[in-house]
Every structure is written in C-alpha cells, then in structure tokens.
Amino acid sequence: MAASPPSRPGGAPAFVDAKGCKEWLGGLPLGNIPQAQQFVLDAVRAVNRGEPPGLERLKCLELMRDKIAFLQGEQRARYFGKTLPLSLNDHAAWSIGRSLLEEMETGYRRCLETARAENGETARHKPLMMQRIARYLGAQMLFHAMVYRRFDPDLWLRLHGLYADAEREGCADERVKDSLESEDGASTVHEAYVHVVLTQAAYLSEMTAPQIDLLEALLRIWSRKVRIFAEPPAEAESGTTFPLAVDLVKPIGARPLHADARQQSHRVLDVEALSRSIRRRLKGLQAGEEPVNLGLPAEASAIDTLALLSRLHKLWCEGAPPRPPAKIPEEKAAGIAFGLPDIHYFVTGGAVFEQPDRERELTRQEKDDLAMFGQITERTQQLRLADYKFDLENWGVIDEMLGAWRLLRPSTAAKGVAIGRVLAMRLGDTAPFFLGMVKALVQETDGRIVITVALFPGRPEPIAARAVDSRSKQSSVWAQAFRLPPLERLGVPESLVVPGGMASRGRGIEIWTEGAREATVYEVLERGSDFDRVTVF
C-alpha cells in the first residue's frame, strides 16, 4: 500500500503556506492516480475551510491547479469516450474528478470574497481569481458532457453572474497568466466566458469524444476572436437576428436573438471574425488542402473536419433555427439491436451469417443429426444460435421528430451505448427493421439514459462486403453489411452500410448479393463509430 502524504490532525491541510504545499504535492503517490486524486481532494477541502489564509491560499490553489490538471488527464480515458453506462469504478473516478472541479471553484471564490472584503494585497489578483472561476465553471460543464450527463442549470447563473461582475468592475479584459488552457499562456475573463458559451452552443450531446477534443483545441485559438457587447452595433437594423446571445439572468446558454427582442440583460456575441476564420478553413478543406496547412490543430487529422466545421459554423454563426416540436407517437416501445452482426441476424429473420463463397464445416452434432435423422434438428440449431448471444432489447419510445426518435434505455439492457453506433429499430413485434445510428445521447441526473436515433432512408437488404486488397484478397473474410435502395422521388441514392474502417472515398470494396462484384466508394454519407454509410459506383 502506498504511503499517504504527511497530514495534520483535525482535518487541517497538511501545509500552512505555499512552500509547504509544493513539498506536499511532491510527495503524492503518482503510481496510484486514484489515491493521489483523493489526497488532493481532501487537501483542497481543508484549504477551503480556511487555512492557509489570504495570498498564501491563492498560491496553494495555483499549485494544486497544475497537479489536478495532470491527475485529471491521467484519469480521463476511464470515462471520456466510453460507452454508457459506466462501470462502478469508472463512475467513481468521474465523481472524484467532478468533486475536484467543484472544490477548486469554491476555493477561488473564497479567495475572491477575501479580496473584496479586505481590498489589500490579494485584491490585485481579482482578475485572475475570476478567470479561474470561469474556467472551473466551464470545466464542470464539460466534465458532465464527457459522460453526456445533464448539469445543474445553476452553473449558468454562476457563470453569467461572474461575467456581469467582471464587466461592472472593469476587469473582464485584463490579461492574466493561463498556461493550462491558452495557446499563448495568457487569457481573460472575457475569453474564458466566450470559451464556455461556444463550447455549450456546439450541442455536445451530439458529438463524439474526438470531435469534442477538436472543439476544445479550436476554441483555445479562436475564443479571442469573439467580442461581447451590451448594445447592438449601429448598423444592426430592426429585425436583425443575432446568431448567438446570452441572457445574464437566465440559467441557459447562448441562443439566436432578434434585435427587437433585446433586453438590458442580454449580451450579444460578435462572431463575424470567427465566421471568417471558419469559412476560410472550409474553403481550403473543400479544395483538398490538408488540415495542418490551414492552421488547424493536430486533432483535426483524426476526424471529418469539414463536416464538423460546417456544423459549428451553422450553430455559431448562422443563427440555427429552433428545432420543431416533437410528437408523441402511439408506439410506446421499440425493438433495438446494436452492431452489424446482431442487426444482420435479426433482419434476416434469424439466419446466422456465413462466408458466402465457401462451405461451412458442419459441427459434430450436425453431422450426427444428418446421419440419424437426415436433417439438422431444431434443437441443434437452437444450441448453435445460443453460442452467438444475439440481443434484441425493448426500449421505451419518448417522442419522434422529423424521422429522429428519442428512446429510453431499459434498466435490463445489456449493451452500452455511444454516439455514432449503428443500430436497427422496429416498432412492434412484426414490423420491419430499419437501420439508423445514435445521433445524440443524454444521461439524466437520475441515471436514466436517453438516445436520439436517426433512421436511414430505405428498407435494408442484408449483403456481405469486404475491402478489395490485391495482396490479401484470397484471405480476406466477408463481413455483415446492408444495401439501402434508392428513393428516387426523394432524391436519395442507393447506399451501403459497411463495417467501420472498410470504406473510404476512391477505395474499392467487394459486395456479395447473389454473387461477388467489385465497386468503388464514391462518397461517405455517414461515418459512425462502428460503421460507414457510403455510395458506390
């Protein structure tokens, strides 16, 4: 068992000044990250109870801030990008991380209260304290987004109130050191506030972990491009709609705002410079330029950056219209199967997938059945199917909107869920299956999980597919896939749903229906976490 850092009795912190704090942090058991996190959490709580006082407390928080950032980074993979629900251990790691962020916000608020009350040496650092509070409020929101969990709307009120205070005290644009979350090592309350507002305006419940990583990297360099004003610019005419505005007295984030509806509590985000930056990158990407040559972060090389930037420009700079109201359908339950192997089984009516170009070796029991009965018995077939463990889960239907369905995960569900997963859905026991994907994911505060499913057009036809590779074609195996027929009246082309990583534009794939044929991928319509939907020629 790792030894704990030195401590003092009575719940007091293990140090009395910044020098002691630095020495204490140096003794943390970094070979055991969860234990180190708990030690730091206990220390921050002790500091927040009142010792050390004044400027020494602020220095201690700054030292612990760096260490906490390291520890959180080490634990991040336990919950970020994971399927939900999390395991008990991973959820415990997330909960400790959330508590650390909450306690750090509390610590800087205590420092700010002291600075305002005493107006002494610590008062010079009010801009830094306020900037840190804004960062930790945003970090708490983002921390919830990492597990698609709703956060307390009071976080918005605390953030808006902080920004209003910074405006009133004239320190919103005073630059302070920020080596953790700024590209040039400095930031302001204004930039931290914009960063949080834009992050949440990106609808994180619809984004994968790599997309959120890129979003955060982009905002580290783009937040300062956005200005905030209380009065609309002189050229803003009556009837103008501002793409993004916040209301400092409401527990919500940014929304489009009609100029005629502006109130004193509104603040409008000037996104014109941000829009120019995004449009320039979009133009370059459409012309085939590499993301790195457009000044985009390294994270851009791992995802479809063109699609993400187009989406962000719409949400941030074009005043995305409100979503139409959902309707509650008569159907109260839906059968759901996840993953192409399970989907293939249910769409085919219970046929186990086999390599279409070769005969399967019969099992010993099947051979015995043929020898004794002249056919394979139903019992033997059922025993073989039991080995595959195909699952069809019964999910609750919440509502439906323009072909997107919101479904409630049952407590008995065996499989986890994640943004971008392919699924098949049917309404009723005898209805046909349709393919779709998880487009959005929300974990309610009581733990209930709600997904939004976007269905693909066309009734799926089961096929087999494999990548074309002349070097290994003979050894390449076929995988479950689907053809979605064209819907000419709607202008929807024929498409294929294939395993993730198999298809990319211009690459050859081989398709088996009644026989094998080669095709070339023309366009990737959807790139999910475990599948791709493509058109071919």
Write down the pLDDT at residue 430: 85
Write down the pLDDT at residue 472: 47
Angle ∠(187,192,195) on CA atoms, nearest 5: 120
ω before 325 within 30° of 0 (cis)? no
Q: Give CA–CA dist 1/174, Å, rounded.
A: 47
Write down the pLDDT at residue 12: 58
Closest CA to 61 of 94, 108, 114, 113: 108
Looking at residue 247, its amino acid is D
Q: Judging by DSSP bridges, how do beta strands 461-467 and 449-455 pair with one another?
A: unpaired
**254, exposed or middle or buried, with CB in 10 Å at 0-12, 13-18, 19+?**
buried
End-to-end CA distance of the chain: 62
Q: Are 452 and 404 in contact (CB under 8 A)?
A: yes
Q: Are 299 and 212 in contact (CB under 8 A)?
A: no
Write down the pLDDT at residue 325: 84
What architecture is domain 333-352+388-455? Beta Barrel (2.40)
SS3 318: coil
Neighbour count for residue 286 (Cβ, 10 Å): 10
- Report in angstroms the alpha-carbon separations of 226 from 291, 325, 508: 22, 31, 44
Write down the pLDDT at residue 9: 45
Q: What is the mean pLDDT of each run of 10 residues along the chain (537 residues)?
A: 48 79 92 93 91 88 95 94 93 96 96 88 92 98 96 97 96 93 90 98 95 96 93 66 95 93 93 96 94 93 91 93 82 93 92 81 73 74 64 93 91 92 92 96 93 95 86 70 92 93 89 91 91 94
Token code pair at residue 394: 């019964």
Residues 6+ apart with CB under 8 A from 252: 153, 156
Residues 6+ apart with CB under 8 A from 272: none
Write the DSSP string, 384-448.
HHHTT----EEEEEEEEETTEEEEEPPTT--S-B-TT-EEEEESSTTSPPEEEEEEEEEE-TTS-
